Copies of this chain bind each other. A is one copy, B any other.
Amino acid sequence: MRVLFEELVFSTKKKEEIIDITGDVRAVLGRWGAKNGAVLLFAPHATASIVINENEPGLIKDVLDLLNALAPPGAGYYHDRIDRNAHAHLRSAAFPPYAAIPVKDGKMLLGAWQRILFVENDGPRAQRRVIVEYLGE
């Protein structure tokens, strides 16, 4: 059994933003010579999410709109008395910061329209990270 780790490190530019990390994850798996196993993506942040869906510019706006409808900023949250980002935490609670994807013959078994999307709920941030972990052969 092989257990391999890599960290994707990047900055975000906007308050809310979606970044497609599919290519980066593929590159890591290729470098490792992954065979059969699974990849676990995990963002070690309480105000970020990982979403598997299509990267179409209109849909990206729709996803951000849905997150905004789900937890609009400044809606009288208790946590805002301490920090001003309760909405971002709530979005990360509802849209979790991880995802798992099967890997076969070194390829992620994503569907034709599926991409791995990092969701920034509380940007901009100088450094965001996604842990790419492979468990497999």
Please give the residue numbers on chain A whose beta carbons come within 8 Å of chain B beta carbons, in ascending order.
1, 3, 5, 36-38, 40, 42-46, 51-54, 56-59, 61-63, 65-66, 70-71, 77-82, 86, 89-90, 92-102, 104, 109-114, 131, 133, 135-137
Contacts and interface: CB of A to CB of B under 8 A. Distances in A.
A44 B86 contact: no
Contacts of A66: 70-71, 90, 93-94
12 contacts: A45-B113, A51-B96, A58-B77, A58-B81, A59-B79, A59-B86, A61-B78, A62-B90, A93-B95, A94-B94, A94-B95, A135-B135
Contacts of A111: 43-46
